[in-house]
Amino acid sequence: MELIGEIFVGIALTAICVMVYLFGFSFTEWGPFTQLPSGKRLDRKAGSANIVGYYLNEPGYGIDEDGNIYEDKDNNYLKGLRENFFFRYFGMVYTGIPWLPLPWFGGVAGSEITESAIKVSKDPSGVITPTVEVLPATYHTAPPIFIKQGLVLSGIPIEGSNLVEFAFSYTLRITNVHGYQYRTGDPTVLVGDNFESMLRPKVATMKTIGEVQQMSSESGGNAEQYKILQEIILQTNKALERYGYGCEIHELNLPIVQPTGALAEAVRQKELNEAKRDADIPAVEQEVNRTMKTGMAQAEVRKAIVDASRGNIGVHIEEGMKGLQPGATFVLGNGVLTSLPLQNERNTKKQ
């Protein structure tokens, strides 16, 4: 009996050691079983780099033997994967021999993933400046199939020569592992170039900043603006597929649409000045002051400024400014922005 007990204990300890071994090395590239978290993929290799198979753990998607990720609404692929004992209870899948953790004999091919995000700063006057922050590259044994990116486009002109900047936040979804992993060239460069080349003619005929701002995700937009963004995404995805980048735009956000640079500062400063002045002036005088400014803007002063903004601004700007009277608003372009308080209703922009 004592011998049987010792044998039983020995078997139990051996089983525990094997499980500890398997679980410990499931977080490495050498297998033989490797962790497969949700939203991630595994590229099985034999030898130093020969890819022999793929695994994917993402509801609604599957992956074939060539590394193509496809939609699988019925989750047939994932159901089949969950039939595996190790995956169901330990989140691991078999990734190949060797049974010893030795390099160059098989296992998993990981990869570096670089993401970026929109970084927003605000100066003391409240002007928002969006920039793209490139995050440090991260090495993944099981790389994600959804990659987050940020994109800022500045200096896009609308009618009247006013400049607008756009800050996009979007997610790329891997559609072909080999194409994404080994294609020369960064898909984010193609996305940026495509967005800018398609966005310019779309907004060139828009007359006001307010009209362009309806494209923002926060504003809710309208049917026309939604169609514009959908067309840009569609054509960009076609270009990514045509040139073999192995990814597509999965979702897109447009949190920031605003005047560019100096114009944004001028608009914000005017709002602050208006708020300070209105706080100290009696209501009757405010109304008189507002009416006087509106009259001036609608008459010769407005014409002088519009004329000055056409042609060579450097030569004619001084001539245009001669028509300015105290309290008038100076706007470069073929009109006055609706976001400035020049009409009967104040349309002030909040930062």
As a whole number of Å, the end-to-end CA separation of the chain is 81
Spatial neighbors of 154 by CB under 8 A, at least 6 apart, are: 163, 165, 260, 261
**pLDDT at 182 > cutoff 60:** yes
CB 33 within 8 A of CB 86: yes
Q: What is the percent of the chain with per-residue pLDDT over 90, rounded to a whole number?
A: 35
Percentage of the chain beyond pLDDT 70 is 65
Q: Which two structure tokens, joined as six digits, stand for 340?
A: 């400035």
CA distance 340 to 160: 15
Report pLDDT for 78: 95
Q: Does residue 208 carry a pLDDT above 50? A: yes
Q: Express each pLDDT in 36-81 by its tens digit.
A: 999 999 999 887 778 889 999 999 999 999 999 999 999 999 999 9
Lowest-confidence pick of 147-161, 211-225, 296-310? 296-310
How far is Cα 329 from Cα 293, in angstroms, rounded to an integer? 8
pLDDT (average), residues 187-204: 91
Of residues 319 and 221, more confidence is placed in 221
pLDDT of res. 308: 45
Contact 240, 147 (CB under 8 A): no
Burial code of 304-329, b = ≥16 C-beta within 10 A, e = fewer?
bbbebbeeeeeeeeeebeebeeeebb
What pLDDT, on a 0 to 100 scale, did the predictor assign at position 174?
96
User: How does pLDDT run across 283-317, given as a tens digit for each residue?
Assistant: 555 555 555 555 444 444 444 444 444 444 444 44
Confidence of residue 125 (pLDDT cuts 50, 70, 90): low
Q: Confidence band (pLDDT; 50, 70, 90) for 348?
A: very low
> What pLDDT is attached to residue 345?
41
The CA-based angle 323-328-331, given to 5 degrees, is 85
Written as six digits, the tokens of 235 are: 């054509």
| Cβ-contact 171, 250 below 8 angstroms | yes
CA distance 257 to 206: 13
Instruction: Tell me the sheet residues that pair with 163.
Output: 157
Q: What share of the chain is helix, strand, coil (3-state, %, to 5)?
A: 40, 25, 35
pLDDT in tens, 298-307: 444 444 444 4
Query: In whole numbers, what is the pLDDT of the chain averaged over residues?
Result: 76
Average pLDDT over residues 261-289: 63
pLDDT score at 172: 96
pLDDT (tens digit per residue) in 228-259 = 889 999 999 999 999 999 999 999 988 888 88
- The pLDDT assigned to 258 comes to 84
